[in-house]
């Protein structure tokens, strides 16, 4: 030992003796960190003559600490072992403590560990300054930076033969999560001992950060995988040659194929020629919402978007294809645009025999896929029945699209029903537009006032019904559609056929199940039910108390013939609620043509021609003919539904088979 080192040791020893004896500290003779540490230890009550901790954790507490810091211990252990290999056989030990200074792990020569039992190197021992004075663990806890305490720089005498080099292990938030220390004989301490410890701590911190990033990446991967596997859109990953390398389950559902038949094939085998996908791979330009047809086997119309994948040099390295079946898009559009049926058979008000018969036929027809023709006067509730049939059918969760053929200008009817492509005609929407048949695909289309359809459009409609496909105006792509057709007319279509106003072949295609709705004058026993239903409903909508109704009002309503049918009755009720005084409705609130039927009849008789009088005298005969016609239609409809099985038809009507055979012969029905 050099004379200079001997002098420094003598000075340190005398300083220590002076400080622990009378509290006098020569700061000029000591490093500032050591002087501060001695004062701190004295202030905390550390015993300079003890040197080992009186505070030791119970075994359960030790196990709790070890479990809590398991990741840190597992990461640090190999670095501690590597650090010890540099000093093996020299009496050094490597220690790992938690952020509070309690030992968790010790690696060293067994002889050294056993020989150092007087300074407590076992897990659970407390190495804080207040217990064993300044040291590589306790002082690093306080200073939160690397520190070396050598020989007589220790506050406690038992450590004067040791050198402690410690450094804190910090997390990403710069918080201390542990302390790594290497302790050994003071005479074997090297200048670079602390540097080795600091390097090991940095390696441990890096490894902890890597593991944290790996956990975050794994979590992100799991989340992305969950999204990838559960999203309703189909997702395909392709390489730079356009080969499909990955698909999600939605693609299998959309194409109806197992992944084994899709993976590894060129994407161009799924898409029709000249697709945007190949352009994306060539130029790197993304594309959005292109309407394409794809499929292995049965073609599926889809909206397809593509995103190019670039490498570090900006070159196309593949792409991601997003697929959404157009029928899914249409379903969403229909749902949020109100293209859904809201009425059911339970919403049809009435208990009359006439109405009950029609409801029974319509209920049976709902279970079929055959076309339905609803005939009846205006205001009899044809759309109500159409919605009820749809909601009772297997298509109830699909769209219900209603089109009034008489309300659309003739020149626009074709584009409304069948759609058009971009640039099909002047004023056409950019990008084109699907028609009502496309929007209704999977569900029901209700063609109201079908008798108003021009003959030219009737040809196009017949083609759609026969081929179950549409071609947009101006386009050449054949688009499959799966729709059930319900038509309605206030005209007698068979008469329009005879007049040459309606195509006979289209009539036969539509008139599979014909249902004639009775006018209100033929079911007057339903008028009180309808009246009170409308009265409560309209009063609630107007925010008024439901008025009391005089008995004479109902009688007057039942004496009226209701040329406008249920719709007229509803309007009359709304008028009366609006003008009712003191929440009471009397005959004076009725329209004059309803409240004074005698005057109305005289006026009609005075103004009518001889032919009209003759018509009035033969009304009973016409009503009988209408009843026979409805009976014929009912039997024909049931024969269609039951495949010509007379027994089933008889059972449905509650009559004998002989009766049905007699009616078939009477009405000349061909089975």
Q: Where are the domains of the chain?
A: 31-213, 231-330, 338-516, 529-607, 620-667
Query: CA-based diameter of the chain, in Å?
Result: 150
What does the alpha-carbon distance between residue 508 and residue 635 come to, in Å, rounded to a whole number? 17
The answer to whether 484 and 369 have CB atoms below 8 angstroms apart is yes
What is the CATH number assigned to the segment(s) 31-213?
3.30.450.40
* CB distance 470 to 418 below 8 Å: yes
Alpha-carbon gap, residue 503 to 505, rounded angstroms: 6
Degrees (nearest 5) of the Cα angle 529, 535, 537? 100
- CA distance linking residue 344 with residue 256, whole number of Å: 33
| Residues 651, 657: Cα–Cα separation, whole Å | 8
For 45, 54, 139, 617, the CA distances from 39, given in Å and listed in that order, are 10, 20, 12, 127
CATH number for the domain running over 231-330? 3.30.450.20
**Residue for token pair 């038949």:** 261
Q: What pLDDT does 297 receive?
A: 65
Report which DSSP code applies to 98.
E
CA–CA distance from 639 to each of 216, 353, 508 (Å)? 68, 21, 16
Cα 238–chain centre separation? 26
Contact 211, 75 (CB under 8 A): yes
| The CATH number of the domain covering residues in 338-516 | 3.40.50.300
Burial zone of 55 (CB within 10 Å; 0-12 exposed, 13-18 middle, 19+ buried) = middle
Q: What is the pLDDT of residue 602?
A: 46
The 8 Å CB, 24+ separation contacts for 457-461 are: 457/410, 457/413, 457/414, 457/417, 458/502, 458/503, 458/506, 459/503, 460/414, 460/417, 460/418, 461/417, 461/506
> Which pLDDT value is given to residue 659?
85
For 529-607, the fitting CATH number among 3.20.20.140, 1.20.1250.20, 1.20.210.10, 1.10.8.60 is 1.10.8.60
Q: Which residues pair with 39 in a beta bridge?
A: none
Distance CA 102, CA 96 (A): 8
CA distance 166 to 406: 92
For residue 345, the SS3 value is helix
CB 446 within 8 A of CB 343: no
Helix 70-86 vs helix 193-230: crossing angle, to nearest 10: 140
- Tokens at residue 607, please? 């103004």
pLDDT the model gives residue 6: 55
Beta bridge partners of 176: 170
Angle (nearest 5°) at CA 517 between 515 and 520: 170
Distance between CA 301 and CA 252 in Å, rounded?
A: 15
- 529-607 has the same fold as 338-516: no
Q: Is 221 helix (H, G, I), strand (E, B) or coil?
A: helix
Q: At what angle do helices 527-542 and 565-579 cross, to 10 degrees?
A: 50
Q: What pLDDT, on the 0 to 100 scale, is given for residue 1? A: 46
Report mean pLDDT in 10-residue bins for the chain, 671 residues: 55 88 88 93 90 82 94 94 86 92 88 61 89 93 94 91 93 92 86 90 93 89 82 88 89 84 85 71 84 72 86 88 77 62 92 93 92 94 95 91 89 88 75 85 92 90 92 86 93 90 93 93 93 92 89 90 93 91 86 72 49 52 69 80 83 81 83 70
Model pTM score = 0.56
* Total length of the chain: 671
Taking CA atoms, 567 is separated from 139, 196, 519, 562, in Å, by: 93, 95, 11, 9
3-state class (DSSP) for residue 258: coil
């Amino acid at each position: 030992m050099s004379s200079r080192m001997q002098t420094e040791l003598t000075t340190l020893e005398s300083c220590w003796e002076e400080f622990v004896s009378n509290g006098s500290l020569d700061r000029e003779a000591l490093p500032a960190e050591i002087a501060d540490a001695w004062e701190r230890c004295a202030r905390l009550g550390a015993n300079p003559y003890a040197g080992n901790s009186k505070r030791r954790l119970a075994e359960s507490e030790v196990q709790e600490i070890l479990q809590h810091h398991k990741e840190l211990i597992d990461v640090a252990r190999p670095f501690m072992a590597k650090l010890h290999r540099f000093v093996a056989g020299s009496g050094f030990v490597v220690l790992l403590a938690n952020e509070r200074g309690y030992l968790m792990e010790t690696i060293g020569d067994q002889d050294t560990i056993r020989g150092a039992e007087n300074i407590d190197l076992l897990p659970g021992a407390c190495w804080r300054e207040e217990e064993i004075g300044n040291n590589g663990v306790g002082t690093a806890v306080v200073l939160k930076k690397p520190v070396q305490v050598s020989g007589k720089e220790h506050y406690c005498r038992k450590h004067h033969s040791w050198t402690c080099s410690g450094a804190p292990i910090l997390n990403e938030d710069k918080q201390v999560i542990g302390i790594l220390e290497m302790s050994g004989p003071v005479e074997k301490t090297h200048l670079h001992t602390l540097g080795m410890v600091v390097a090991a701590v940095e390696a441990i911190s890096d490894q902890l950060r890597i593991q944290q990033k790996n956990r975050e990446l794994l979590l992100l991967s799991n989340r992305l995988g969950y999204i990838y596997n559960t999203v309703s859109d189909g997702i395909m990953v392709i390489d730079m040659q356009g080969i499909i390398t990955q698909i999600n389950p939605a693609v299998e559902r959309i194409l109806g194929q197992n992944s084994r038949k899709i993976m590894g094939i060129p994407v161009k085998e799924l898409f029709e020629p000249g697709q945007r996908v190949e352009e994306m791979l060539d130029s790197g330009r993304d594309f959005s919402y292109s309407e394409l047809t794809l499929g292995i086997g049965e073609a599926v119309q889809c909206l397809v978007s593509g995103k190019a994948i670039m490498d570090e040099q900006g070159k196309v390295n593949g792409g991601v294809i997003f697929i959404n079946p157009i029928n899914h898009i249409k379903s969403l559009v229909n749902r949020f645009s109100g293209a859904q049926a809201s009425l059911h058979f339970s919403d049809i008000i009435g208990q009359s025999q006439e109405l009950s018969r029609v409801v029974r036929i319509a209920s049976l027809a709902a279970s079929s896929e055959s076309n339905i023709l609803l005939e009846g006067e205006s205001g009899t509730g044809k759309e109500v029945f159409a919605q009820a049939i749809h909601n009772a059918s297997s298509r109830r969760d699909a769209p219900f699209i209603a089109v009034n053929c008489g309300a659309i200008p003739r020149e626009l009817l074709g584009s409304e029903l069948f759609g058009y492509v971009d640039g099909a005609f002047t004023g056409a929407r950019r990008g084109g537009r699907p028609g009502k048949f496309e929007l209704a695909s999977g569900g029901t289309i209700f063609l109201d006032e079908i008798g108003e359809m021009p003959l030219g459009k009737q040809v196009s409609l017949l083609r759609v019904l026969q081929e179950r496909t549409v071609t947009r105006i101006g386009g050449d792509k054949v688009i499959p559609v799966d729709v059930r057709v319900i038509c309605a007319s206030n005209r007698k279509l068979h008469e329009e056929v005879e007049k040459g106003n309606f195509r006979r072949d289209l009539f036969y295609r539509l008139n599979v199940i014909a249902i004639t709705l009775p006018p209100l004058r033929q079911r007057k026993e339903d008028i009180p039910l309808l009246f009170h239903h409308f009265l409560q409903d309209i009063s609630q909508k107007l925010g008024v108390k439901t008025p009391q109704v005089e008995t004479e009002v109902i009688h007057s309503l039942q004496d009226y013939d209701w040329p406008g049918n249920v719709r007229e009755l509803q309007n009359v009720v709304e008028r009366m609620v609006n003008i009712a005084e003191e929440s009471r409705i009397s005959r004076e609130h009725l329209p004059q043509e309803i409240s004074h039927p005698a005057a109305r009849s005289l006026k009609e008789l005075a103004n009518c021609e001889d032919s009209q009088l003759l018509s009035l005298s033969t009304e009973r005969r016409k009503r009988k003919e209408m009843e026979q016609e409805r009976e014929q239609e009912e039997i024909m409809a049931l024969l269609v539904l039951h495949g010509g099985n007379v027994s089933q038809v008889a059972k449905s009507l509650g009559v004998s088979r002989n009766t049905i055979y007699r009616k078939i012969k009477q009405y000349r029905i061909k089975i």
